[in-house]
Every structure is written in structure tokens, then in C-alpha cells.
Chain A
């Protein structure tokens, strides 16, 4: 399956703007499995099996905290956006 992962703010410096993943997984696959394909990403955004506080991982615009966290199923064609802690006003 094909999944797009987009990075923002400081994460762009470490992982680039966007990664297109071609994965030979059963469709759908858990988010943690998908993100583990990108070197260093899980260490950056998660700890103790959970996404770090104030990091935002959106699956098609919905925060995965309100789906199944790192176990959220990801399917072919999905867009994942990852933001570090940030704010404005």
C-alpha cells in the first residue's frame, strides 16, 4: 500500500517535508508499523508506547489520539501529518 507522511516545523529539518511510503503490508496496517519505516521517527515522537504530549499525529486530518493511538489502522492512500509541539494565536 502507499501512504504519505508529511512533516512540519522542526520535524522538517530532521525528516524532510514529505515521505511517500510504498509498503508491502496487509492493508490496513497499524500506525506504529507504518511509522517504524522512517529511521528515528518513533524515537522522536513517541515514548512508552504512546505519542508524546503535545505532538500531533493526524490521520487524514483526525488526531490519532481519538482513534487508537499508535495502533490506529492505516490503509492505502492515507495521509499522515506530524507536528511537533507548537502554538501561536
Chain B
């Protein structure tokens, strides 16, 4: 554990490095290790698309082992969409294969003059010319590399045209249909002219204490198999099982968060997908849940296609957010995003932003070249996806994200974003804690920093009143810190429906041989959350002014449905949250940072006059 490949694309050099065990014990891997390396190696004020930014690809201490749902990988960078520290995660089979190829991670720095790809196999790495791949979509790129390198077991992660064209929410795609989706990591890779990373290997990760590891894995696997969410609903209906649940609670953001009810949402629900378009379930490497879908649209011209997905977030983004309920068109837009290398959440969301701008007469007709972006125009969602990937016409504006789009057309209040990242598929006016989670998310609008939908709607681990603000600050902090741990172990978050930090201690201790305790593991989560905040403070002065929500969610009551009349009462939760975190106005104190072993970063903040008194 700790073997890193450093790739300098400016120089064209490759070097193996070993991280110290002390560093790994502080940060684990994945998200945590990524923020540490970014703080140590990158000036937080750097332009995200400049050679000075780095793209750090990481696995975790459990990746590719028998630990449940350990087939993932993670990318950390300063994101072009948000200007924040940003981690983005993906499943599939690529992450474990990187580990089997002999590396725990890759630090990519500088920028190449011409397109290249990286080929890593059994401890060897080389940069190769990628001229013939530039311009190709992710499927063609994958097929060509597998053919060219001559091994069908090679796994490929790459960018599509959207990444090459520096779309601010271009993603990294591996195994043709799994995405490190959010934030624009694909644009960072595109700015470095790195088209793909192909990996293959047979070097299995070592386990320090086999018997302790096996015992802990069994405990976790048993809990996941027995849990009704991970054992039954997710495998059967996939993540889109949430469509009807969220819609019936009146919090399915519809037509750019103008309401929380989409009356015909069942047409693109997990139940409907299972009945009409599902070909097979697709597990990630070593997964015992298998929530992934492979679907096909065979007879709905011109929307025919097939591929991975769509997920819950995707059917929402191209569905309710754009007022569309046509599963064929939604699926087609999803397939295109996979092929072109676009984040489906941001893509669908931004189309919804454009549709509201159009509704309010803000978009000059000549910008649209005959397209009418009206709510529910199913052909428009597909066409706008194409135009965005290639920055064609209005697509060039969409490619900058909802915030810049709404600003450009004179209605910044219509951007439903936090820290520049488009909000996902839950309207927080009917889930107060989830609203606090959005507002305080270090990587911008995101449901996966603190998935308060679990306790506030799903009743996991226990049901709490979604309309009250009482006790939410503490729950949000607990979820944020626990999720920072699992993101740094680089395990799937669906573990957390059935297991929590105390269950992971034995797997970490067994795999690494460290004598780690529950308290230490929990503290790592808190350390990571604070370190991310430090990066953001140094980058753009993050703090209270950014810990907020779009005005609509704070002052415009939900107009209809079960959440009617509610707004997010952020003020009732934020100060309590700061107190629990040991923060003043959204910034950690020296005392808190030193308690977490982060004195060097407290010193850095003080040097810049950014440490609270």
C-alpha cells in the first residue's frame, strides 16, 4: 500500500514513489489522501485547467480485496466547475485493475503538448501517442485500446469529446459506462491532453492479517446481504427505485426546482425500467448488490440505443428537471453522456436551467438555431447534449455550467447551484437536514457528502422528522465525517445503508495490519472534512458566505404537494453546525485544526490572515 506513479506530462517522465505509512494512517487513501496531496503539492489558487493543477487518481486500502463493494476508484483535483477541492468516484472494474497493475494511485501533473495515453501493466508504465484516439468517444477509445494492446482483459478509463473540449462538467468514464461524474475532472484530463489510462495486472493486494480481515469481511457481507435495502430493493430495481419515493414525498425537483412534484414520474421509475428496458443487472467488481443496469431502447425512433444506466440521478436530471417523462429520450441522453463523457446530473440540470431562462424570455431566439427548449421537449434534451459536448452554438454556454449560463442571460437567481455545482435530485425544502448538507458541502451541490435522505425519508438507520431542523446539524456532521471515511477507503456508499464506521474498523486493521480504533477512524473523517475546507479557504476564501443555498429554496415556499409551504430554514441549523464543527463563520479554528493534527495548515491560514480569531 502506498505505491504511487507520478506522471509529469510536460516533461514526459514517469516515476515510482512510495508514500509513508504515517501519511496513510492519517488519510487512508482516496478522497482523504487526495486532499492531503493537493494541499501539499498544489497552490489552491491555481487555474483548474492550467498545467499547475494536478489530477490525482487513487484507490484505497481495501480496493480489490474481498471487502464488500471495494471495486471503486477516485479522482481528486481542483475542479473547473466549482473552483473547490473536488473528489469524484466511480465503480466498474477499472479501480481494482489499477491495483492489480501494481499501483495504488497516479499523480498526474503538467500538460502534454500532444495527445497521449498512459498504459500501466504489472508494475510497468509508459506514455504513448494518442493522436489516433483524440476526437473519439469513450466507447471507440476503449475498443481501440483493447484491440491495440492485445488483451481483452485490459480496463480503460478515458475522456470523451466533452473532456477534450473542456466542458466544465466533463467526466471520466471507465468500462464504457461508469463515471467519475461530477465537477469536470474530464476537462482537467483534457487540459493535460491525456486521453486515456489503460490498466492490466495480476498483482493481488497483500492482506496483513488474513484471519482478522476475513472475520471482519464476513460481518460486513452478512449485514449487507440481510439488509432489506441492499439485499432486495437495490438489486431488483436499481437506484431509480427512488423516483416514486421521492416524488410522492413532494421533493422531486421539477422544472428547475419550481416545484417538487412531477405527476408522470412513474414513466421513468426503477419499476418501469425493470419492466420495459432492462436487459441485465451489472455489478461492479466484487459487488454483492449489483444495482447497475444495462438497458436497451429498441423501438422508439430516433432514441434507440443501449448501454449502462440510467441511474436515479440521471432519469431525474433529464426527466423532472426538464419536464420530460419519455424514458426512451431520457435513456438516449444518458447513453450519449456516457459516450461523450458528460456528467448526467449537470447535463440534465443545465438543460433545465436553459428551459427556465427560455420560459422567462431571457434567451435570444437566434442563439437556438431552430431549437425550442420548452419544458418537456424530449428531442431538445438529446440535441442539447450533443451541442454541449461539442460546444456548438448555445451548447458553448451550457458547457460552462448553470451558474455561468444563468449569469450570462441575466438571471443568476435561476442557477440552482451551491459553490457552482448543480444541485442533484432532491428539493431540500421538504428535507431540512439535506438542505444543510447541500449548503455545507465542500465540493458544491451534492447529495453524497451527507445523504440525509436516508434518515429523513428512507428511515435508515432510523426515521427522523424531515420537516424539523432540530438535531439535524449533528446528524449532518456525523454523516459528512463518516462518508469522508468510506470515500477514503474507496468503498461504495451503499455499504452505509447496512454498515457504518464501527463495522469497517476490522477490515482496515486486518488489511493494513494497523492497530486502528473506531475513535481514530472517525477522527480521520473529521480531519478530511476540515482539510477540504482549508483548501477552499485558501483557494477562494470559503466560509459563511458560501454556506448557503439558491434564493429560491430559502424564500420561495414549495408551491404544491406534501412539502407545500416549506422553505429551507438554514439559519436555524447553520450556527449549531459551526459550533459542533469548532468553526467560526465557516472556517476552522487553530484549536480545531491542531486537535486534528493539522497544525501546518493552521499556520498556512494564519500566514494569509484567514484563520478565525
Contacts and interface: CB of A to CB of B under 8 A. Distances in A.
Interface of A: 6, 8-10, 12, 53-56, 58, 60-63, 65-66, 81, 83-89
B248 A58 contact: yes
Contact of B237 (A53, A62, A65, A86): A86
A83 B228 contact: no
A87 B456 CA distance: 12
Kindly list the 6 A-B residue pairs having the minimum CB-CB distance in the complex, ordered from nearest.
A61-B562, A88-B239, A85-B228, A86-B233, A88-B242, A87-B229
Contact of B229 (A8, A63, A85): A85
B561 interface: yes
**Candidate in B458, B459, B463 with the most chain A CB atoms within 10 angstroms:** B459
Given A54-B459, A61-B562, A65-B463, A84 B233 contact: yes
A59 to B, nearest CB: 9
B3 interface: no
A87 B250 contact: no
A68 to B, nearest CB: 14
B229 A54 contact: yes
A65 to B, nearest CB: 6
A53 B236 CA distance: 20
B448 interface: yes
A48 B121 CA distance: 58
Contacts of B239: 88-89
Contacts of B457: 56
B291 A88 contact: yes
Given A86-B458, A89-B493, 6 more contacts: A54-B229, A56-B459, A83-B244, A85-B229, A89-B451, A89-B494
Interface string B222-252: 0000011110111011111110110011100
Contact of B241 (A9, A53, A55): A9
Contact of B245 (A53, A62, A83, A89): A83
B233 A10 contact: yes
A89 B459 contact: no
B248 A88 contact: no
15 contacts: A8-B245, A8-B248, A10-B233, A10-B236, A54-B460, A61-B249, A61-B562, A61-B563, A65-B463, A84-B232, A88-B238, A88-B240, A88-B312, A89-B239, A89-B313
Interface in B179-236: 227-230, 232-234, 236
A79 to B, nearest CB: 9
B241 to A, nearest CB: 5
Contact of A87 (B271, B448, B458): B458
Interface string B484-508: 0000000001100100000000000
Given A9-B236, A66-B465, A86 B245 contact: yes
Contacts of A83: 244-245, 248
A24 to B, nearest CB: 27
A56 B562 CA distance: 14
B454 interface: yes
A84 B228 contact: yes
A3 to B, nearest CB: 15
B237 A9 contact: yes
A84 to B, nearest CB: 7
B270 interface: yes
A63 B459 CA distance: 10
A87 B497 contact: yes
Contacts of A65: 463
B241 A86 contact: yes
Contacts of A87: 229-230, 233-234, 241-242, 454, 458, 460, 494, 497
B404 interface: no
A54 B458 contact: yes
B447 interface: yes
A61 B448 CA distance: 24
Contacts of A12: 271
B459 A61 contact: no
Nearest to A85: B228
Contact of A56 (B227, B245, B447, B448): B245
Most buried by A among B244, B250, B312, B447: B244
A65 B232 CA distance: 23
Interface string B57-99: 0000000000000000000000000000000000000000000
B271 A53 contact: no
A19 to B, nearest CB: 16
A52 to B, nearest CB: 9
Contacts of A62: 562
Contacts of A88: 234, 238-242, 270, 291, 311-312
B271 A9 contact: yes
A60 B465 CA distance: 16
B472 to A, nearest CB: 15
A15 to B, nearest CB: 13
Nearest to A86: B233
Contacts of B463: 63, 65
A9 B271 CA distance: 6
A85 B494 CA distance: 14
B465 A89 contact: no
B346 to A, nearest CB: 17
A17 B448 CA distance: 31
Given A9-B271, A56-B459, A89 B562 contact: no
